[in-house]
Amino acid sequence: MPPVPEVEEHTEDVGGVPIFWRTAGDDDVPVLYVHGVPDNSDTWVPLLERTGGIALDLPGFGRSAKRGDLDFTIAGYDDFLERFLAHVGVERVRLVVHDWGAAALAWAQRFPDRVERLVVADAVPLLPGYRWHRTARAWRTRGLGEVVMGLTTRWGVKRSLPAELVDPVWRHWDQGTQRAILHLYRSSPPEVLEAAGRGLGRITCPALIVWGATDPYLDTRFAHAYGEALAGDTEVEIVEGAGHWPWIDKPEVAERIAWFLAAA
């Protein structure tokens, strides 16, 4: 694979909202990396250095704006991504989503012809039959969620994340991010998740689904369910010995993702 230019950092107003993102390379069809909870674009740097593309901090996370009047819902992130891509002048992408980056699949269902390739890694299931894990259920409970957030310590974060992500996450674990997480989870009961994925069959591009076999939050059956819901040529790979961040737990997964994206 050819060398990729140095990763550059940007902060600009997108529709009046300050947004931070990273870029590398100048592909006509860049890779767009969309992170989940509670991380930010730092998660994607190892892949960005391999493939080039764009990795952003979603509103409410990392270095992007965290104002309380922003729309921290699936629909809100769907609309934001449309505005962001217009701002950076990108028409088509190769899309990579992880965890709550699944909100980008709502955008992809509206604009399937703008997605050339798709990678889904341990993504929140926009599918029937999912029930939130214990921590998410606590966050979704008013009062209890605020207490749990307030009692979260760096040690607690360390127990939940790969070592490489602890400092980047904890550095930005402020009240704005905590508020965004609570709003996102509380706006997304199982029936909303299912409804948000009803158009997955509109996505017809080649897709790769990678899923950690020991993910403590998302059962591997949802990897196969995504494979069945998408309409294009789809590969499902369950990664033994990997958890919720399989490309970090198993570096060879990063190479697999990079190879798939480059195959276009």
Structure tokens at 196: 């948000």
Report pLDDT digits (tens) over 9-51: 999 999 999 999 999 998 999 999 999 999 999 999 999 999 9
Helix (H, G, I), strand (E, B) or coil at 15: coil
Report pLDDT digits (tens) over 181-216: 999 999 999 999 999 999 999 999 999 999 999 999
Going by pLDDT thresholds of 50, 70 and 90, the confidence category of residue 263 is confident
For residue 60, which of 168, 175, 146, 177 has the smallest C-alpha distance? 177
Instruction: Report how far apart, in Å, the C-alpha atoms of 43 and of each of 87, 240, 242, 261 are.
Output: 23, 20, 16, 18
Domain boundaries, the chain: 8-262
Instruction: For CA atoms 238, 241, 247, 252, give the dihedral sign.
Output: negative
Whether residue 202 contacts residue 105, with contact meaning beta carbons closer than 8 Å, is answered with: no
Q: Which residues pair with 22 in a beta bridge?
A: 9, 55
Burial class, 196, CB count within 10 angstroms (exposed 0-12 / middle 13-18 / buried 19+): buried
CATH superfamily of 8-262: Alpha/Beta hydrolase fold, catalytic domain (3.40.50.1820)
Going by pLDDT thresholds of 50, 70 and 90, the confidence category of residue 81 is very high
pLDDT value for 101: 98
